[in-house]
Amino acid sequence: MPGSPGRRAGRRRALALALLALATCAAPARPPGKPPATTAATADTTATTGTAPTVDAKDTVDAQDTVDITPGTCGTGWQHPRPGPQRFALRNGAAVPVDARLTDPRTGAVYGEVEGVAPGTTRPLRVRLGAGSYAFACLPEDGDAVTGPVVRLGGHAAPGPAARPVTRAELIPATLDYQRWTARQLAGLARATAALRTAIDHGDRAAARRAWLTAHLGYARLGGAYGAFGAAGRAVDGTTAGLPGGVHDPRFTGFHRLEYGLWHGEDGPALRRCAARLDADVRALGRTWDQTRPAPEALVRRVQEIPEDTLHLELAGRTDYGSGTGRATAGAQLDATERVLEPLVPLLRTRYPGLAELRRRLARTRRDLEHAQHRRLDADFGDLVERLAEVAAVCAVRRAA
């Protein structure tokens, strides 16, 4: 299930832009596709580098302070510091795009950020301030980071949520753990596709269908590695999307090609060749995986992309070629999500207060996969997509300020 590259590109950008929607961590489930309500701890992050719009009249009126994020004057203009919700207008007078963060200068924890403020434009940033010290960090494109003056607020008000940025070095152990696990799973997958090939060679359709499901679910549980598989992954689990010949296109191979054949009465040499090709492709994946070095950033993205694909592909029936096993595949992809999340938990314990609630929602989704109606599952996975987007934002590797 390679997913939709066009849709993913926007999602990946959104993860880099959306900062820590932690104040919504314990919010009730939302219908799929409905954006979460904006909170005081959430940055307005609708634009991309080089194309950010200027702040409209309402944004200008609402902003308490206009703060310069030009490297030479980073953090100046904050004239009225006070506790509670604040809306800054971040103004970039530099000749290059600038990322801006409001940080705790002592710990580096980030309260809010806006990425890619274009030259000559202004972007809003909403945060909730409490007692403590604050400083803006300005990170120009292709330039050194600059930290502005420290602003201290007294009193006893609690600040909004913040999280210390995750470093690439912190993600490497999680990535290595997942790489070793995937290697073991690929060895088991090769045994499963060999059994599938044997059943098809013997003409035992019932056994072949059972073996197909076992092998396909095994592949679905490898969701965190799909991006690293590349073209080899598309050969193993690609669909007819983009193929002019549809199910009869010679480039349609792998699990779904066999699914179509097994559930549409196909037999003979063509089906046996497909099974042999799948078996060979899976074994090739195992050999090349030993030389593959997955990027930690890619693993973080996959924690949200796996349930997103489940929602838009499996639960929508877009990957069903006759077996009717979409719900079983969704369960395997939920396994994949939890497996990618597992090595990130040590990083999340001190950064993501919604971790316990996320685990409860994962457990509820698993229960609903057994009995719930389709609409309930859509809501479950839509809710997980939003929560895991927060996880991915918290764990995203950021430039050092």
In tens, the pLDDT along 52-80 reads 333 333 333 345 799 999 999 999 999 88
Domains by residue range for the chain, with CATH = 42-153 (2.60.40), 168-395 (1.20.1420.20)
pTM for the whole structure = 0.79
Residue 34 has pLDDT above 60, yes or no: no
Q: What is the pLDDT of residue 52?
A: 31
Q: How far is CA 64 from CA 42, 90, 389, 400, in A?
A: 16, 11, 29, 28
Q: What is the pLDDT of residue 63?
A: 53
pLDDT mean over 361-390 = 95
Q: In this structure, what token pair is assigned to residue 328?
A: 């079983």
Residue 12 has pLDDT above 70, yes or no: no
Cα–Cα distance measured from residue 87 to residue 14, given in angstroms and rounded to the nearest whole number: 20
Query: How does residue 381 score in pLDDT terms, banded at 50, 70 and 90?
Result: very high
Please classify residue 81 by burial: count the beta carbons closer than 10 Å to its beta carbon, then call 0-12 exposed, 13-18 middle and 19+ buried: middle
Q: What is the pLDDT of residue 101?
A: 96
Residue 44 has pLDDT above 60, yes or no: no
